[in-house]
Amino acid sequence: MQQIPFIYSNSAKWRISRHLSFWLLWFLFQLLLYSFSPSPALQQQPFLHRLIITSPESLMYLIPSIFLAYMLMYLVIPTLVLPGKYAWATFSAIVLVFLTAALSAALSMTVIDHLRHLNADRISPVVAREPHPALYVQFGVAMLAGLRGSITVGGVAAAIKLMKCFYERQQTALMLEKEKANAELQMLKAQLHPHFLFNTLNNIYSFTQEVSEKASGMIMGLSHLLRYILYDCSKPFVPLDKELKMIRDYFALESARYDHGLDLSVQMPKATDHFIAPLMLLPFIENAFKHGASQVTEHPWISLTILVNNDELSMKLINGKPIISKNTIPGIGIANVRKRLALLYPGQHELVINDEEEMYIVNLRIALATVSADVVKTIYHGTHQEI
């Protein structure tokens, strides 16, 4: 994206340069246009003189052009065109074009007409005293001229904005593909065959049953957790019930390390027909143990509340933190979750993380999807079609 920074960079320096260059070129275009087709009072004037006289008009006409361009670039395109609301986008663009034409006509009949009269009085008083057409005729002609100009500048600005948006999306997709390929390569390097892994865990489980009931329970919980991660999480979406069961198993494994010293409060729905992207919630819970419970020497505690209402999941996770926090290097888990949320739930999620003096607070909302039985069968019988 930095190959052509003048066009694609989002840094303040390049954005200001880009916008100033665009409006300077548009100003010069209008200045030359009005100088080559001047009003009757200026037709006998030298070209350089016409340029000087018409420059204020060109500056005034920049106002409606700027209004239309920025309304299209920062309102219509991001909120209507890119989300696919094409009917509303078309209607909004038409309304904006006519509003711009009306603004241009109003300026033409007031400020610009006054400037022309001043110039005409100095250059040719006879021309200045010629009768003018009726007011509605003047407004109609000015509207037509404004429509022509607004459509031109609006089309150019929208084309540049769309080109930039589509290029950024293409580059983001390529970057994600590259990251995915690297992640898959790293996983293959460290991968054990699942059958070997589960057979080994089952053998250890059988040996520990007679030695330690607690240890055998932990091994079985770890086996269920790994089976879910290796098999179910390869699919684009998983039943929310399975995701919540995995979280319960994870809590059971982690809690075993604290014996009875961990104050744990967990509230989750028992049954739901919703689906969620796999491992979307786990990184937050891992952080609650890594940066919270495991660092607190006295009375570690974690509170998790997950609710599902009207196809929306809300999660509130609170955990205590040490009074004297250690300087830890931020991990990539939460950053990756933010990227996944932006890609899988664009405009359908809200994540707020508060680092308070004595606790961490995570509030997450996600708009969930309900999936038909046919799609569930497709997901869980070998195909990998996205929902």
Which pLDDT does position 376 carry in this prediction? 45
DSSP 8-state symbol, 297: S
Question: Over its length of 387 residues, how does the chain's per-residue pLDDT go in tens digits?
Answer: 455 677 667 778 888 888 888 889 888 888 887 777 655 555 666 667 677 777 887 788 888 888 888 898 889 988 888 888 889 989 998 898 888 888 888 888 887 777 766 665 555 544 444 455 566 666 777 777 777 777 888 888 888 888 888 888 888 888 877 777 776 666 655 555 555 566 666 667 666 766 666 777 777 778 777 778 777 777 888 899 989 988 888 888 887 777 667 788 899 998 888 999 888 898 898 888 877 666 665 678 889 999 999 889 999 999 887 766 555 544 567 888 888 888 888 889 999 999 888 888 999 999 987 654 444 444 444 434 333
Contacts 24+ apart (CB under 8 A), 323-328: 323/358, 325/295, 326/295, 328/291
Give the relative orientation of helices 12-36 and 135-189 as an angle to the nearest 10 degrees.
Answer: 150
Do 64 and 98 contact (CB within 8 A), yes or no? no
Alpha helices, H only, 108-134: 113-123, 125-128
Which pLDDT does position 381 carry in this prediction? 45
DSSP track, 155-166: HHHHHHHHHHHH
Which pLDDT does position 203 carry in this prediction? 66
Which pLDDT does position 378 carry in this prediction? 46
Which pLDDT does position 306 carry in this prediction? 94
Amino acid at 337: V
**Burial class (CB within 10 angstroms; exposed 0-12, middle 13-18, buried 19+) of 105:** buried
Which pLDDT does position 382 carry in this prediction? 42
Do 359 and 319 contact (CB within 8 A), yes or no? yes
- Cα angle: 7, vertex 13, 18; to 5 degrees: 35
Give the relative orientation of helices 47-71 and 135-189 as an angle to the nearest 10 degrees.
Answer: 60
Which pLDDT does position 196 carry in this prediction? 55
Strands 263-267 and 301-309: parallel
Which pLDDT does position 78 carry in this prediction? 87
Q: Domains of the chain (ranges plus CATH)?
A: 5-185 (no CATH), 259-379 (3.30.565.10)
Which pLDDT does position 123 carry in this prediction? 54
- Measuring CA to CA, how many Å separate 317 from each of 202, 218, 292, 364, 383? 33, 24, 11, 9, 34
311 — alpha (psi -120 to 50), left (phi > 0) or beta?
A: left
- Measuring CA to CA, how many Å separate 49 from each of 29, 31, 269? 17, 12, 78
